[in-house]
Amino acid sequence: MTEEPALLVQGLTKSYGRVQALRGVDLEVQRGEIFGYLGPNGAGKTTTIRCLLDLIRPDSGTIRLLGIDPQSRPVEVRQLVGYLPGELHIDPNFSVEGALRYFIALHGNRVDWSHVLRLAERLELDLKPVIKNLSHGNKQKIGIVQALMHRPQLLLLDEPTLGLDPLIQREVLHLITEAKQNGATVFFSSHIMSEVEAVAERVAIIRQGRIVEVAETESLIRRALRRAQVRFKRPVDLSPLKAIPGVQVLSQGDGESVLLQVEGEMEALIKALAAMPLSDLETERPSLEEIFLEYYENKAQEG
């Protein structure tokens, strides 16, 4: 029997009054995958995640987490899921330890306290202070510990590194990678493209409540537009380059240099350049951030 995906969403719609937050979202995340969910504020990332946990009820569509319907069997799903909300609020009168012990009690005391201590130590989280005296970053660390402490099979993380310093951000990404190595699936939303690029195997881009792209992170970057700055030993005829499908001349200097935009694979361009008196070639690989922005800028014009 084939194992069901860790996360399966089909035709998910959700409206808040007249505002349509989700307009038919389809997603499939395989078990053991790290999946990045990208989109600007208000695109529908948080609404999707909150529907997954049955915190809000979709207008239509189906959801299965680890093969379970969260609306009909919410408790079963939540036993297997670790959740970090985008806006984390914890009773401010708790101490850090008090809050974590309360969360453990909500898990039916089935959490190994020494594992909690290890996580806290790795994130440099002091357990003594009262939560109302903590900075945003330290509260976020509590959020991460509570999401990971019961070794969930599926992690739903909404902006996990928000407000953390770079060292702790890196540690959180390590924890995410380790969770995957231990068999967990990670579904996380983020604004920080570099971290998505660093850990996510696949990404989905959501725009105005619709998924506009689902792809492997690598291939998304590979097939995106990139720029090539070419210098020649002497002025050359650029027509062979212009004739290559997907290649566009952006600017042309004195005939000895040219800035090209390349869509897709570089192979044809490199072959053409090999027949020319090439002096220097610099290519710029776009970051996920540039691709993301491109999606938004281009699609917004189309929309």
Which positions touch other proteins (CB under 8 A)? 17, 46, 50, 53-59, 74-76, 78-79, 81, 83, 85-91, 102-103, 105-108, 143, 146
Looking at beta carbons only, is 120 or 224 nearer to other proteins?
120
**Shortest Å, Cβ 63 to other proteins:** 13
Distance CA 41, CA 258 (A): 38
Instruction: For residue 146, give the amino acid letter.
Output: Q
Distance CA 148, CA 157 (A): 10
Left (φ > 0), alpha (ψ -120 to 50) or beta: where does 27 sit?
beta
**Shortest Å, Cβ 217 to other proteins:** 27
- Extract the tokens encoding 239: 């027509």
Looking at beta carbons only, is 87 or 267 nearer to other proteins?
87
Looking at beta carbons only, is 22 or 224 nearer to other proteins?
22
Per-residue CA distances from 48 to 10, 65, 146, 294 (Å): 11, 13, 21, 23
Q: Are 120 and 104 in contact (CB under 8 A)?
A: no
**Shortest Å, Cβ 89 to other proteins:** 3
**Shortest Å, Cβ 5 to other proteins:** 20
Looking at beta carbons only, is 27 or 111 nearer to other proteins?
111
Looking at beta carbons only, is 53 or 212 nearer to other proteins?
53
**Residue spans of beta strands (DSSP E) within the chain:** 7-16, 19-29, 34-38, 60-65, 81-84, 154-158, 185-190, 202-207, 210-216, 226-232, 247-252, 257-262, 278-284
Looking at beta carbons only, is 3 or 91 nearer to other proteins?
91
**Shortest Å, Cβ 41 to other proteins:** 13
**Shortest Å, Cβ 74 to other proteins:** 6
Distance CA 125, CA 158 (A): 20
Q: What is the DSSP letter of 3?
A: P
